[in-house]
Structure 1
Amino acid sequence: MGGVSKSFRCTLEVRDYELDSQGIVNNAVYLNYLEHARHLFLRETGQEFNDWHKKGIDPVVRRLEIEYRQSLQGGDQFEIETWVEQKGYVRFLFHQRIVRGDEEVLTAVITVVFVRNGRPVQPPQEMVEALREFSKQE
């Protein structure tokens, strides 16, 4: 994670209804975990998706890359680490990592673009400034 000023961390716990027939977390559930962590992360920086929407700007997931390494099971507590990297004027890469104790469960890179009326736009400057503390330094 070299070059990152600071990362955001949150702790969650696997709920029984998130398990599949094998007794492990269903792969699609990890998307919910990652999204929830991104929302908590943005809230920590003083940003809210609803505030951006009111200004006519919406963040949209353009690309999602996940590498699964381990499975979570019912009752597992785990931590999600999040940091961000700005790419160009309209794209942000949200780097996320789920760990259980010392074990890395998955890594993910989520590409988010900001749109207004379906067209890419630069995000509000106050949002860019708020994320700078958690950004990869070029």
Structure 2
Amino acid sequence: MTEPFSVPVVVRGYETDTQGHLNQAVYLQYAEHARWSFLQQGGIRQADLLERNIGPVALEVTVRYRRELRAGDEVSVTCAFLWGEGKTFRIEQTIRTADGTVAAEVSGVGGLMDLERRKLVPDPRDRFRELAADPAVFGL
């Protein structure tokens, strides 16, 4: 089994709350950063999506906070797409510290929206295959 895609992030002081912990909303920003980085790894740029008048949308996101993070902590944020049938797909992500401790798990449901019609495209897998320079990155 291959390792999932991951991107490194260092927790910045201004991202912490008054208790010195990484602010809860920033976990979502890290997950978003990893998703866009993952798309780029497969050869899909934001401009490519906009040229085709489609965009990724988050339909549901759950964050499970496991361990606190503090300024200066180095983490890796993974990203994997799980394809099913229909208009949506799952996105599974893990934020781990340098020693492998799971700090958070982010699970979501996403889709690709036709930006003119404001509707989800029927089969996002087909669109990812068309757009990706390397569809295998996405398990396609």
**Structure 1 runs, 4 residues or longer, greater than 4 Å off:** none
Give unpaired runs (5+ residues) of structure 2. none
What SS does structure 2 have at the residue aligned with 1:133?
helix
Q: CA 1:107–1:32 in structure 2 vs 1: closer, same or farther (change >3 Å)? A: same
**Distance in 2 of aligned mates of 1:75 and 1:5:** 29
For 1:106, the aligned partner's letter is A
Summarize the alignment of residues 5-16 of structure 1 with structure 2, pairs less than 5 Å apart: 5-16=2-13
What SS does structure 1 have at the residue aligned with 2:72?
coil
Match of 2:29 in 1: 32
- From 50, 54, 61, the equivalent of 1:53 is 50
Match of 2:38 in 1: 41
Aligned length: 133
Match of 2:113 in 1: 115
TM-score, normalised to structure 2, is 0.85
Q: RMSD in angstroms over aligned alpha carbons?
A: 1.9
Aligned partners of 1:7 and 1:83 also within 8 Å = yes
For 2:120, the aligned partner's letter is P
Match of 2:102 in 1: 104
Aligned partners of 2:44 and 2:132 also within 8 Å = no
Give unpaired runs (5+ residues) of structure 1. none
TM-score, normalised to structure 1, is 0.87
